[in-house]
């Protein structure tokens, strides 16, 4: 599997999309080297605007530009963009259904060394609760570009959650469509429902489980809102038990979204793997931090196996 960071894909995509779409403008809040909007800035300086370290201004300026007819991509780190500017996103961008695409990087634990202040573990929850807001979490760099293509042709706002680190590119057979969950591997004992980087880890976890005689499906939920409830219901009927896997708080994120949906159509036991009501912390690199919070493929497999045993007892 080749490796690439979703944020690098974003920078490349912006540069390409900017050539075709002259109304595309990009705004950043003093993090353009990290979010990779600097790639666009170099190519189209007249359509790139930096507001400095002022996230509320980032969103307000973006709103004004959208009202003025521009297709706006606004970027910062996930924690600052969704947390600090939640009022502006809720009351203006989403309320007035403006053409502002919020593309935030360094989500989850991927901002490892910087510690808790920089690690967004609540951003999916914060965005998911806002009416009119779409929430997209691509599973890899390739899907990031496909999702951006889809968002470019849509009207209205969206939140896209990207990460800092290089991640594996997954072999996919489906055509990306906003709102679809995708089956990557089919098994009948349990389904691992994953989002973002945890999709590739769940595929690895499924391989581990297979060796132990457990046949697991792996589902990529790249769109957390609107959620593909029908598909998830079908999966639940097939396996009778689910595990959700996310690099986010289990409160308000993928696990919550899936639970909400299934409680309406086909309630089954759901084991939620993610951050358990806690802040992150500093680590020299990303992998040990994932291990600290139980998010490696081995740990996902182990935890899933334990849950199956517990529920079948």
Partner 1 sequence: MIKNLSSNDLNELSKKIRCDILRMICEAGSGHPGGSLSAIDILLVLYFNVMNHDPKNPEWVDRDRFILSKGHAAPALYTVLAECGYFSKNHLLTLRKIGTILQGHPDKRVTPGIEVSSGSLGNGLSISAGLALAAKIDKKKHHIFCLLGDGECDEGTVWEGAMLAPHYKLNNLTAIIDRNGLQIDGRTETVMRLEPLADKWKAFNWNVIKVDGHNYDALYNAFEESRNEKDKPSVIIASTIKGRGVSFMEGVKEFHGKPPNKLELEQALKELEA
Positions in the binding site for partner 1 (CB under 8 A): 25, 46-47, 49, 51-52, 54, 56-57, 60-70, 87-88, 91-92, 95-97
Question: Could you tell me which residues are beta bridge partners of residue 28?
Answer: 50, 75
Provide, rounded to whole angstroms, the least separation between the CB of residue 227 and partner 1: 24
Tokens of 25: 């403008």
Catalytic hit among 55, 122, 143, 305: 55
The beta strand positions in 122-264, using DSSP E, are 134-136, 158-161, 166-168, 182-185, 190-194, 216-220, 223-225, 242-249
Close Cβ partners of 68 (under 8 Å, ≥ 6 residues apart): none
Please check whether residue 220 is in contact with residue 146, taking contact to mean a CB–CB distance below 8 angstroms.
no
Closer Cβ to partner 1, 91 or 188, answer by number: 91
The residue to which tokens 């009119």 are assigned: 132
CA distance 160 to 141: 12
For partner 1, the closer of residues 71 and 271 by Cβ is 71
C-beta of 131: minimal distance to partner 1 in Å?
Answer: 11
Min dist CB 117 to partner 1, Å, is: 19
Task: Please state whether beta strands 71-77 and 48-50 pair in parallel, antiparallel, or not at all (unpaired).
Answer: unpaired
Least separation in angstroms between CB 37 and partner 1: 16
Is 43 labeled as catalytic in the residue annotation?
no
Shorter beta-carbon distance to partner 1: residue 68 or 226? 68
Q: Residue 218 forms beta bridges with which residues?
A: 185, 192
Residues labelled catalytic = 55
């Amino acid at each position: 599997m080749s490796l690439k960071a979703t944020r690098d894909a974003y920078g490349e995509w912006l540069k390409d999309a900017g050539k075709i779409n002259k109304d595309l403008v990009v705004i950043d809040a003093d993090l353009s080297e990290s979010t990779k909007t600097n790639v666009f800035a170099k190519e189209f300086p007249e359509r790139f605007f930096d507001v400095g370290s002022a996230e509320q201004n980032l969103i307000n300026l973006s709103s004004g530009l959208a009202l003025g007819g521009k297709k706006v991509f606004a970027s910062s780190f996930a924690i600052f963009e969704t947390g600090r500017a939640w009022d502006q996103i809720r009351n203006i961008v989403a309320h007035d259904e403006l053409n502002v695409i919020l593309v935030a990087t360094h989500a989850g634990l991927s901002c490892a060394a910087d510690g808790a202040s920089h690690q967004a573990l609540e951003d999916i929850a914060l965005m998911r609760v806002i009416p009119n807001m779409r929430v997209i979490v691509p599973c890899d760099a390739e899907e990031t570009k496909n999702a951006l293509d889809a968002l470019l042709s849509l009207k209205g706002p969206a939140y896209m959650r990207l990460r800092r680190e290089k991640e594996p590119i997954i072999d996919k057979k489906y055509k990306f469509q906003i709102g679809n969950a995708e089956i990557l591997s089919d098994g009948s004992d349990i389904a691992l429902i994953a989002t973002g980087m945890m999709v590739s880890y769940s595929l690895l976890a499924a391989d581990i489980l297979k060796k132990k005689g457990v046949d697991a499906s792996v589902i990529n939920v790249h769109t957390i809102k609107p959620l593909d409830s029908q598909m998830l219901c079908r999966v639940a009927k097939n396996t009778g038990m689910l595990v959700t896997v996310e690099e986010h708080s289990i409160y308000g994120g993928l696990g919550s979204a899936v639970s909400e949906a299934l409680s309406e159509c086909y309630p089954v036991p759901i084991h939620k793997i993610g951050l358990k009501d806690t802040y992150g912390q500093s680590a020299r690199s990303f992998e040990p931090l994932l291990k600290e919070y139980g998010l490696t493929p081995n740990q996902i497999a182990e935890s899933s196996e334990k849950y199956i045993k517990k529920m079948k007892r």
